[in-house]
C-alpha cells in the first residue's frame, strides 16, 4: 500500500516538515482514513497507522460464488502443539517483545517435536516471508495446517509444499509446481531441503532447469550443493566452471576445492607448484614465490577474477586467489600449519599469502589451519577474515581464542571496546563459563568507562541472546545492574536491566520446554 509508505516517510521526517494529505481512492480503508482531520497531523498519522495495522489483522469474506470450490481441508497433524507457558512465550515473541529470540524459540520447538498453535500461524508465516533464513526451521513447526494456510496466500508460497518424506528417486508433483512458481530465495530453500534428503535428485533437478536461470540466480542456487556435497557432484560443478558468469565460476571452484580427489584440486596443485616452492631448512620452512604474471582464460575458468579491487596490485591479487584455491594438503604435506604461518609473518608476500590461506581454511573448513592463522597472524587479517576463521573453530576453541584476545591486554574501557565488538560477531550459543567471563569484563567496563558510548550501550545488551541462560550466569548478570546503579549518570541502568530481563525470559523459555540450563 503506497499510502503506508507515505505515512512512514512523514513519521521519519516529522509532521512539521511534511504535511498529511487526505488520500483519494475508492478503497474503503483509505476512504475511512480520509475522514481524519488533517489540521491535527500527529493525530492523523497515528490514527491512520492504527487503522492500517488493524486492517492487516482482519480476515476476508469468502467468495459468495456458489460455483466456487471450497479448498480441500488440511490433513491431520502429526506433531503435538505447544502448550502452557510455551504458547505464552511464543505469543510474546511474535508480538514484538524479544522478537530477536524467534529463531531460538523455533529451534526449541523443532528439537522437542512441537508445532505452533493454530492462532500463531499467520504471524509465523509472515515472519518467514520477511526473514528468509528462518524459513527452513519454520517449515517444521507450522505443521500440516500451516502448509494448508500458506497455499491460500501467494505471499506465503515458500511454505505451501509438503517436502516431508522425500524419496531418493522421485519429486512429488506439488514440489515441482512450487519450484516453478517460486522466487530465487524459495528455490534456494527447497533445493537445500532436497539436498539434505535426496542429494543426487536435487542436483539433477537443478541441472534440468539450469539454462532457464539468470546468472545471479545460478550462483545462489549452486551454493546449495554444499549440502551433501560428494564426488558425484563433480561433473556438474566442473561444467559450471565454463559458465559465462564469474560468480558462478567462483562458487563452483569454492565447492570443487572441498573435494580432495577432484580434477580441479589436481590442476590447482600443479599451478601451485609453478608459483610456490617450499623447502625445509633451519627452524622453519622456506617459501619461494613466483607470482602469476597474467590471469588468462585458464585461470579465470578456475574461478579467479582478473580485476583486482581498488588499492591492490594485480600480481598480489592473483596470487591471493591462487593460494585461496589450493587444497591445504599442498602446504601440510611439507610442514604443519603453525610452521607455515610462522614462515609467512616476515615474508615479502605475506599479505596475499596469509589472506589466501585464510580463504582456503574457511572454504575447506579446517579447524587446524584456522587456529594457526588466528593465533599466529590474527593481527595481520581484517575483521571479516578473522570472523570467518573463528566460525570454523569448534565452540570451545573459539571461546578460548576470544578470551585470549581479552586477556592479551589489561582490562580497560578503550581496549574492551574493540574486544566486545569482536565478541558480538560470534552469534552462537556461548558456554556458561565463557558467559560469566564476559559478564565480569562487562562489569569492569561499566564501572570504569568515563564517557557515554552509544555503540557499546547498544551492543552489550545483545549478548543476552547468546549467553547460557542458567542460574549462575543470571546471578552474575544481576551484578551488572548493581554496577550501573552505582554510577551517578544512570546511563547504563536501562540497558543492563534489559540485558537481565532477556536472560531471565530465555531461562523461562527453556524451562517451559523441560530444559534446565
Phi and psi at residue 279, in whole multiples of 5°? -130, 145
Question: What pLDDT score was predicted for residue 240?
Answer: 96
Residue pair 229/196 in contact by the 8 Å Cβ criterion = no
The structural domains of the chain, with segments of one domain joined by +, span 2-54, 73-160, 162-256, 261-386, 394-517
Q: Which residues pair with 276 in a beta bridge?
A: 289
Q: How far apart are CA 260 and CA 240, in angstroms?
A: 18
pTM score of the predicted model: 0.80
Question: What pLDDT score was predicted for residue 507?
Answer: 95
SS (H, E, C) 436-452: HHHHHHHHHHHHHCCCC
Question: What pLDDT score was predicted for residue 62?
Answer: 59
Question: What pLDDT score was predicted for residue 1?
Answer: 52
Question: What pLDDT score was predicted for residue 207?
Answer: 94
Question: What pLDDT score was predicted for residue 59?
Answer: 63
SS (H, E, C) 56-117: HHCCCCCCCCCCCCCCCCCCCCCCCECCCHHHHHHHHHHCCCCHHHHHHHHHHHHHHCCECC
User: What SS3 state is found at 20?
Assistant: coil
Question: What pLDDT score was predicted for residue 167?
Answer: 59
Question: What pLDDT score was predicted for residue 151?
Answer: 87
The stretches in the chain having pLDDT less than 70 are: 1-2, 13, 17-18, 59-66, 163-175, 282, 515-517
Q: How far apart are CA 388 and CA 419, in angstroms?
A: 16
* Continuous H helices in 469-513: 471-485, 493-512
Phi and psi at residue 284, in whole multiples of 5°? -155, 160
Amino acid at each position: 500500500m503506497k499510502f503506508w509508505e507515505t505515512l512512514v516517510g512523514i513519521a521519519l521526517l516529522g509532521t512539521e516538515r511534511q504535511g498529511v494529505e487526505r488520500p483519494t481512492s475508492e478503497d474503503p480503508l483509505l476512504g475511512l482514513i480520509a475522514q481524519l482531520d488533517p489540521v491535527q497531523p500527529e493525530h492523523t498519522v497515528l490514527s491512520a497507522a492504527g487503522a492500517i495495522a488493524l486492517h492487516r489483522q482482519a480476515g476476508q469474506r469468502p467468495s459468495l460464488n456458489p460455483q466456487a470450490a471450497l479448498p480441500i481441508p488440511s490433513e491431520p497433524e502429526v506433531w503435538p502443539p505447544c502448550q502452557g507457558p510455551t504458547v505464552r512465550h511464543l505469543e510474546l515473541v511474535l508480538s514484538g517483545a524479544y522478537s530477536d529470540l524467534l529463531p531460538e524459540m523455533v529451534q526449541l520447538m523443532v528439537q522437542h517435536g512441537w508445532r505452533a498453535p493454530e492462532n500463531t500461524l499467520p504471524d509465523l508465516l509472515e515472519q518467514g516471508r520477511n526473514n528468509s533464513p528462518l524459513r527452513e526451521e519454520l517449515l517444521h513447526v507450522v505443521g500440516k495446517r500451516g502448509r494448508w494456510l500458506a497455499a491460500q496466500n501467494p505471499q506465503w508460497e515458500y511454505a505451501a509444499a509438503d517436502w516431508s518424506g522425500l524419496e531418493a528417486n522421485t519429486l512429488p508433483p506439488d514440489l515441482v509446481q512450487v519450484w516453478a512458481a517460486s522466487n530465487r530465495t524459495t528455490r534456494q530453500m527447497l533445493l537445500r531441503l532436497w539436498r539434505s534428503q535426496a542429494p543426487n535428485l536435487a542436483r539433477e533437478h537443478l541441472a534440468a532447469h539450469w539454462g532457464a536461470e539468470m546468472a545471479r540466480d545460478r550462483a545462489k542456487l549452486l551454493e546449495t550443493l554444499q549440502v551433501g556435497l560428494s564426488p558425484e557432484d563433480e561433473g556438474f560443478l566442473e561444467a559450471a566452471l565454463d559458465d559465462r558468469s564469474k560468480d558462478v565460476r567462483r562458487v563452483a571452484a569454492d565447492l570443487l576445492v572441498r573435494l580432495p580427489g577432484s580434477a580441479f584440486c589436481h590442476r590447482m596443485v600443479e599451478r601451485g607448484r609453478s608459483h610456490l616452492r617450499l623447502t625445509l631448512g633451519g627452524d622453519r620452512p622456506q617459501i619461494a614465490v613466483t607470482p602469476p604474471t597474467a590471469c588468462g582464460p585458464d585461470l579465470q575458468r578456475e574461478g579467479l577474477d582478473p580485476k583486482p579491487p581498488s588499492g591492490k596490485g594485480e600480481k598480489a591479487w592473483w596470487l591471493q586467489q591462487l593460494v585461496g584455491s589450493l587444497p591445504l594438503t599442498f602446504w601440510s604435506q611439507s610442514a604443519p600449519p603453525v610452521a607455515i604461518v610462522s614462515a609467512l609473518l616476515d615474508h615479502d608476500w605475506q599479505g596475499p599469502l596469509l589472506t589466501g590461506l585464510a580463504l582456503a581454511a574457511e572454504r575447506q573448513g579446517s579447524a587446524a589451519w584456522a587456529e594457526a592463522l588466528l593465533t599466529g597472524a590474527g593481527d595481520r587479517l581484517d575483521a571479516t577474515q578473522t570472523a570467518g576463521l573463528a566460525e570454523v573453530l569448534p565452540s570451545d576453541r573459539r571461546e578460548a581464542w576470544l578470551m585470549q584476545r581479552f586477556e592479551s591486554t589489561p582490562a580497560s574501557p578503550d581496549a574492551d571496546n574493540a574486544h566486545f565488538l569482536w565478541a558480538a560477531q560470534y552469534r552462537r550459543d556461548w558456554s556458561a563459563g565463557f558467559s560469566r567471563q564476559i559478564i565480569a569484563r562487562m562489569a569492569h567496563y561499566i564501572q570504569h568507562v568515563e564517557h557515554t558510548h552509544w555503540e557499546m550501550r547498544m551492543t552489550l545488551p545483545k549478548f543476552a541472546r547468546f549467553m547460557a541462560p542458567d542460574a549462575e550466569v543470571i546471578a552474575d548478570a544481576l551484578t551488572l545492574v548493581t554496577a550501573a546503579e552505582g554510577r551517578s549518570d544512570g546511563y547504563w541502568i536501562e540497558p543492563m536491566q534489559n540485558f537481565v530481563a532477556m536472560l531471565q525470559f530465555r531461562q523461562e523459555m527453556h524451562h517451559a520446554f523441560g530444559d534446565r540450563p
